[in-house]
Amino acid sequence: MISQPNQQENQAYHEVSLTPTADEAGIRSGDKGAHTSRTMMFEELACLLAHAGREATRDDYRYHVLELNCLEKRTAANRRLTLQRLSELYALDPNVLLFRIMRNLWNVDDSGRPILALLMSMARDPLLRLTAPPIIQLRPGKELSRQTFISALEQGTGSRFNEATLDKIIRNTASTWTQSGHLSGRCRKVRQAIKPTPSVLTFAMVLGHLQGIRGAGLFSTEWAQVLDLDVDNLIFLAMDAKRLGFLDVKVSGKVVEVSLSRLFVDHKKGAREQSMSAPAGGK
């Protein structure tokens, strides 16, 4: 007799079948990134998302930046460049899993938006991702050393960047970590602890899941470590996320089960609806 799969096995299979690869979901790799010329551009992103509305398509975002000039850029060239950099950092396309999930979480969590933007930028910009370990290791109240960023970037990219470009990357990434709340100060950058929200933790779980990490390991990824909480407190935060309907989590002793299938189902459904309702031509 062939045994039937139990409910847990069915759920695991269903989640695997729904999960795209990291690349398909929008995570980028390599040694290039928008932080060679820009920060994570949080204010521009927030302004664009507010103007375009919740159900905006890729063409809608383009239309709001280039035609309506919602970001109030002085020249057409500047509008095009801004759109390019925002697209590099955030995709601005609801058919991209990471952007759609971030956008949905953004809608319900005002205070978590800077960290949602940070996590998305980290996923899309390998250069910013390289500067995460120095931030994670720096204790609150301690000043950031420029050399720690230099060492992290050179370790990840070798001698690819000249001194001038490396200096720009350091300034831009430090500014991004300031926008997210991890650093404070203008010239002297001092580490401060952030206060993550359930939606922020959910997005960090999604990023870890897309890299093939499951269970308790999701609370120890680099994505989770930038949230400035230990594993026990992250699990407590996951319980809050469960109550809000973002994810499912079960804890039994040292065994932790995390399911994100409802987010992937929502994405599949939303992407299908977007493709059915999208006009034949862009605005």
218 plus 245 within the same structural domain: yes
279 belongs to a structural domain: no
223 plus 251 within the same structural domain: yes
Residue 57, token pair as written in the block:
């398509």
276 three-state secondary structure? helix
Instruction: Name the β-bridge partners of 248.
Output: 259
- Among 176, 191, 206, the domain boundary falls at 191
- Among 191, 221, 255, the domain boundary falls at 191
From CA 33, how far away is CA 35, in angstroms rounded? 5
280 belongs to a structural domain: no
Across the range 175-187, mean pLDDT stands at 96
Tell me how crowded residue 111 is: count the other CB atoms within 10 A of its CB.
11
3-state SS of 49-100 is HHHHCCCCCHHHHHHHHHCCCCCCCCCHHHHHHHHHHHHHHHCCCCCCHHHH
214 plus 162 within the same structural domain: no
From CA 118, how far away is CA 174, in angstroms rounded? 12
Helices (H), the chain: 7-18, 22-25, 42-52, 58-66, 76-90, 97-108, 113-124, 126-130, 132-137, 146-157, 163-179, 198-210, 222-225, 231-243, 261-277
128 belongs to a structural domain: yes
User: Residue 267: its pLDDT value, please?
Assistant: 54
Q: What is the CATH number of the domain that holds 234?
A: 1.10.10
Instruction: Name the β-bridge partners of 255.
Output: 252
From CA 227, how far away is CA 198, in angstroms rounded? 11
63 plus 115 within the same structural domain: yes
Model confidence over 88-143: pLDDT tens digits? 999 999 999 999 999 999 999 999 999 999 999 999 999 999 999 999 999 999 99
156: containing domain? 24-191
8 belongs to a structural domain: no
171 plus 216 within the same structural domain: no
The residues, any chain, with a CB within 8 Å of residue 206's CB and separated by 6 or more, are: 98, 101, 260, 263
From CA 114, how far away is CA 106, in angstroms rounded? 9
Region of residue 3 (phi > 0: left; psi between -120 and 50: alpha; otherwise: beta): beta
Work out how many domains the chain is built from and give that number: 2
From CA 14, how far away is CA 268, in angstroms rounded? 13
9 belongs to a structural domain: no
54 plus 171 within the same structural domain: yes
- Among 165, 191, 217, the domain boundary falls at 191
180 plus 209 within the same structural domain: no
113 plus 207 within the same structural domain: no
Q: Please name the helix (run of DSSP H) or strand (run of DSSP E) that holds residue 191, with its range, or none.
A: strand 190-191
User: Residue 18: its pLDDT value, please?
Assistant: 55
From CA 45, how far away is CA 124, in angstroms rounded? 14
167 plus 37 within the same structural domain: yes
170 plus 215 within the same structural domain: no
From CA 81, how far away is CA 162, in angstroms rounded? 23
Percent of the chain residues topping a pLDDT of 90: 79
159 plus 234 within the same structural domain: no
48 belongs to a structural domain: yes
Model confidence over 241-252: pLDDT tens digits? 999 999 999 999
**pTM (2 decimals)?**
0.88
35 belongs to a structural domain: yes
Q: What is the CATH number of the domain that holds 67?
A: 1.10.3540
14 belongs to a structural domain: no
User: Residue 279: its pLDDT value, please?
Assistant: 47
143 plus 219 within the same structural domain: no
CA end-to-end distance (rounded Å), the chain: 59
190 three-state secondary structure? strand
